[in-house]
Chains A and B, each alone.
Chain A
Amino acid sequence: MNTNDKKQVTRREFLRRLGVGGAFAATSLVGCTPKGRTADTASERRPDAAKMTYRTTPTTGDKVSLLGYGCMRWPLVDPEDRNSPMDQEQVNRLVDYAIEHGVNYFDTAPVYGRGLSERVTGTALKRHPREKYFIATKLSNMRDFSREGALAMYRKSFEELQVDYIDYYLLHSIGGGDGIPTVRKRFFDNGVLEFLLKEREAGRIRNLGFSYHGDVKAFDYLLSLHDEIRWDFVQIQLNYVDWKHAGRRNTNADYLYDELWKRGIPSVIMEPLLGGRLASLNEHLTTRLKERRPEESIASWAFRFAGTPEGVLTVLSGMTYQEHLEDNLKTYSPLEPCTDEELTLLEDTAQRYLRYPLINCTDCLYCMPCPYGLDIPAIFKHYNKCINEGNVSASSGDADYRRARRAFLVGYDRSVPKLRQAAHCIGCRECVEHCPQRIDIPAQMRKIDAYVEDLKQGKHF
């Protein structure tokens, strides 16, 4: 039972326990040397605003904090209810704390958080002097390619964010659809890109860039136009797994980063934690990392990895909880770059990590709402959690099959209401085109459903 408990520690609890452990270690020293660390020193380990690492953009000379705030996952009033409004007060507190500790980059989009994120973010930021922070938002014209639609969306962002200029403006999610033709339809044929370039000249957009997922041809195509357009920055998905192992549906981050580095374009990093999956690894991988840096979280390794390359401008993290914010601030105040040895260790961690077939859902919610009521991200999250905790059995003959079976089935009903489980996926495929990770959601649903049936029917497998 003890080992189970250890495995089932969530990241939040883990941080809490870590804090207690640290305090304990510190007090135990007091007895030996009067001048040694006291319990108070534990709080000295808290983030220090003066030490935040900053990177400078070549085109505008902005001094950007290495930790950027991703505004996609703001806390909800009722965290259990995916339809709940955002908790503005809690957001204000998080934003205040972040700014106090040196964070100055806030990334949102018109489609984030059911369209509520821009307004909530703008409201929280408005309470601070405008020159204290940079706002990034995007043109999310994935469904409507018309010029009018795009311009309306652009103007609405100013209104929602309550600002008169936008520091970082991105063409949102290049590489979706059918690649280059979609890019041309979204930004070229309708003259939207031309319009945005003029807006940049007028100063209403200070930096222009794009974010990329998916078809690498679109990425290459836009970079080939760099001499004409002069991209101020590009946002890419980078973490120690995607660095060399992005899989056939996405592009390795080392390639993306090198292409940008060659051209002197700063990279903004998204998914440094792979949708939170790199915040908790299985027991073996956790132990290896803990042996090296016992007091630091597993997530801190991913953040240090993402912040290490010098061409990285800022690393975005969607911090819903104060604990995550504090932990990340600690990691970057200041950044301690990964050594070559550590990079090798992380590459090995990535390879071992990939042996467990996790579903690479990042909980971005683009697939939601499912018209048939499924809670797609919650199903994937439960499945991944079970894999990480060793509760997905390779065979019904496994030694702890009975325990794992119970944990999977009871946990399944706990984390996903029965009517929103994988069995109800009819395979209409409406979600597929919305997934930036290009997961074949219906196929995965069938896989999980089949596994659940095996468990329920007690089949031998």
Chain B
Amino acid sequence: MNFYRKGRIVAATLVFVAVTLLFLDFSGTIHRYLGWLAEVQLLPALLAVNVVVVVALVLLTLLFGRLYCSVICPLGVMQDGIARLGLRAKKNRYGYTRPRTLLRVGVLVLFGVLFLGGVGSLFALLAPYSAFGRIVTNLLQPLWMWGNNLLAMVAAHYDSYAFYEVTVWWKGLASLLTAVVTLVVVGLLAWRGGRTWCNTICPVGTLLGFISRYAWMRPVIDTEKCNGCGLCARRCKAACIDPKSHTIDMSRCVVCFDCLDSCRQGAIRYEVRRKKGPAKQSQPTDGARRSFLTMGAAVVASTVVAQQQKKVDGGVATILDKQIPNRQTPILPPGARSASHFAQHCTACQLCVAACPNGVLRPSGGVMTLLQPTLSFERGYCRPECTKCSEVCPTDAISLLTREEKSSRQVGHAVWVRENCVAASREVQCDNCARHCPTGAIQMVEQGEGKAKIPTVDAERCIGCGACEYLCPARPFSALYVEGHEVQRTL
């Protein structure tokens, strides 16, 4: 195996494992060391206007070709893994195809339009890093958590506190379905044709393809040594080697170095560019390749209201599960600034959902904000000391907050529902909401002789953390629920 290919495989494996761990981890420890890996992803960096990262990635591509696609992008590495399995079934299965530039540019333009138009939902479906994040959080994280819970059981047996149990809960059909469909579509394409997805649909691939045409270093076929066997083309998962013309389409090449190994004549070398790349050729679009988009739409149509997983425990009095109230405005994570800013900047990668320790964040089922995180308080509330989601967000959709900022960031306000309140309707003494309100926005007021005090909300002081909603004894609907705000502000 040549040096380049070996290096690529080692680096890609390391990055892939690290990014996967990032999405699996619920304790926040891994993020401290590997969080930067989410920030060097191209789309998140663009959204975060992270100039350093964007310039670095452009330079990397200009110098060495689409190394980003073969090493840094987790979805790309995942495809390489699946393609490897495909090769076991049938060797030398690939072949040169002409570039489908129209489809590629078309998708990129659509992507740009969706982004600028603020339709974050569809735009997020295509973002490679986010697609990978959804696959891991939806399909792999539950297994990871169950494994952890097994360890926690063992630890509890030995009176050790090394592991603690976490709740695995149902976060909604939309996100699960999206993850499954993405995995199946991308996986099938990878099995059959290697990097088909990256070179037809992926907007990041197209974008980097524009740059990599001018790459300084590139694989080159030495026509004097080449005996025209065409083996390189059948091994090329990007389908970009044209053995007849001895050219390699650098806009599609992901610099995997497989061809260097495949050539028995040693005719392919990775070296500094000598002459201009081949002229581009345009081809009609392939209707079948659009299937992914159609399926994406199907997902939107089948969006179902998120349901709560039933919790089983051996208690005494039965405790009804809380139900999600009908909120007029969804609640956004603290630090999201505004609904429009958030919709445009969030790629729905689920990193914050995976990291939320309070069971508050979950992917939204709304069409315009599909899979972008939203808050609800059935399993906990947005604790004042916690800033996890803003720490992990790579796109600046949730801007980094200090604890002080977080505890004064108003994401919504509580609304009191008299009919549900045990103090008002059943005249039971209860001030659990007022007692737990971190900003003192709830005051208990007299209702006359012999009557229990009832809570009142000062919406001006309320930050919408949901402590009152979560801790309210009324079930399944709390007597206080939080209405979201379109624009967040600091009190």
Q: Which residues of A contact B (CB under 8 A)?
A: 4-5, 8-9, 78, 80-84, 368-373, 375, 406-407, 410-411, 413-414, 417-420, 423-429, 446, 456-458
Contacts and interface: CB of A to CB of B under 8 A. Distances in A.
Nearest to B313: A417
Q: Which residue, A8, A82, A410, has most C-beta atoms of chain B within 10 A?
A: A410
B431 A414 contact: no
Given A410-B161, A414-B165, A457-B385, A426 B432 contact: yes
Contact of B164 (A410, A424, A427): A410
B315 A420 contact: yes
Contacts of B383: 456-457
Contacts of A425: 432
Interface string B259-293: 00000000000000000000000000000000000
B430 A368 contact: no
Interface string B405-423: 0000000000000000010
Given A370-B316, A373-B317, A426 B428 contact: yes
Nearest to A5: B159
B473 A372 contact: yes
Contacts of A410: 161, 164
17 contacts: A80-B314, A369-B316, A369-B317, A372-B317, A372-B473, A375-B315, A413-B165, A414-B164, A414-B165, A417-B313, A425-B432, A426-B422, A427-B430, A427-B431, A428-B428, A429-B429, A457-B383
B156 interface: yes
B156 A414 contact: yes
Interface string B308-333: 00010111111100000000000000
Contact of B429 (A8, A84, A419, A427): A427
B425 to A, nearest CB: 14
B230 interface: no
Contacts of A429: 429
A308 to B, nearest CB: 34
Contacts of B313: 417, 419-420
Contacts of A5: 159
Nearest to A419: B319
Contacts, number: 81
B385 A458 contact: yes
Contacts of A4: 159
Main secondary structure of the interface of B (DSSP, over half): loop
Given A373-B319, A425-B432, A457 B384 contact: yes
Contacts of B429: 426-429
Contacts of B473: 372, 424, 426
B432 A424 contact: yes
A290 B431 CA distance: 48
Interface residues of B, number: 29
A426 B315 contact: no
Given A82-B315, A373-B319, 16 more contacts: A82-B314, A82-B316, A83-B315, A370-B316, A372-B317, A373-B318, A414-B165, A423-B436, A426-B473, A427-B429, A427-B430, A428-B428, A429-B429, A456-B385, A457-B383, A457-B385
A366 to B, nearest CB: 13
B77 interface: no
A427 B434 CA distance: 12
B24 interface: no
A403 to B, nearest CB: 8
Contacts of B108: none
B316 A83 contact: yes
Contacts of A373: 315-319
A458 B161 CA distance: 18
Interface of B: 152, 156, 159, 161, 164-165, 311, 313-319, 379-380, 383-385, 422, 428-432, 435-436, 471, 473
A132 B491 CA distance: 76
B361 to A, nearest CB: 17
Contact of B314 (A84, A368, A369, A457): A84
Nearest to A404: B161
8 nearest CB pairs, A to B: A81-B314, A369-B316, A8-B159, A426-B430, A373-B319, A410-B164, A369-B317, A373-B317
A414 B158 CA distance: 13
Nearest to A365: B316
B468 to A, nearest CB: 12
Q: Which residue, A5, A78, A424, has most C-beta atoms of chain B within 10 A?
A: A424
Q: Which residue, A81, A414, A458, has most C-beta atoms of chain B within 10 A?
A: A414
Contacts of A80: 314
Contacts of B435: 446
Given A83-B314, A373-B317, A417-B315, A423 B471 contact: yes
Nearest to B430: A426
Nearest to A459: B385
A370 B314 contact: no
B223 to A, nearest CB: 66
A372 B320 CA distance: 10
A426 B164 contact: no
Contacts of B314: 78, 80-84
Nearest to A368: B316
Nearest to B422: A426
A9 B159 CA distance: 8
Contacts of A81: 314
A375 B159 contact: no
Nearest to B314: A81
A457 B381 CA distance: 13
Contacts of B385: 456-458
Q: Which residue, A9, A407, A419, has most C-beta atoms of chain B within 10 A?
A: A419
A427 to B, nearest CB: 6
A261 to B, nearest CB: 40
B420 to A, nearest CB: 13
Contacts of A368: 316
Nearest to A423: B471
Nearest to A10: B159
Contacts of A406: 161
Contacts of A9: 159
Contacts of B311: 417, 419
B161 A411 contact: yes
B165 A375 contact: no
Contacts of B432: 423-427
Nearest to A391: B161
A241 B317 CA distance: 33
A371 to B, nearest CB: 6
A4 B436 CA distance: 33
A455 to B, nearest CB: 10
A369 B311 CA distance: 19
Nearest to B384: A457
A428 B430 contact: yes
A379 to B, nearest CB: 12
Nearest to B322: A419
A414 B165 CA distance: 8
Contact of B431 (A407, A418, A426, A456): A426
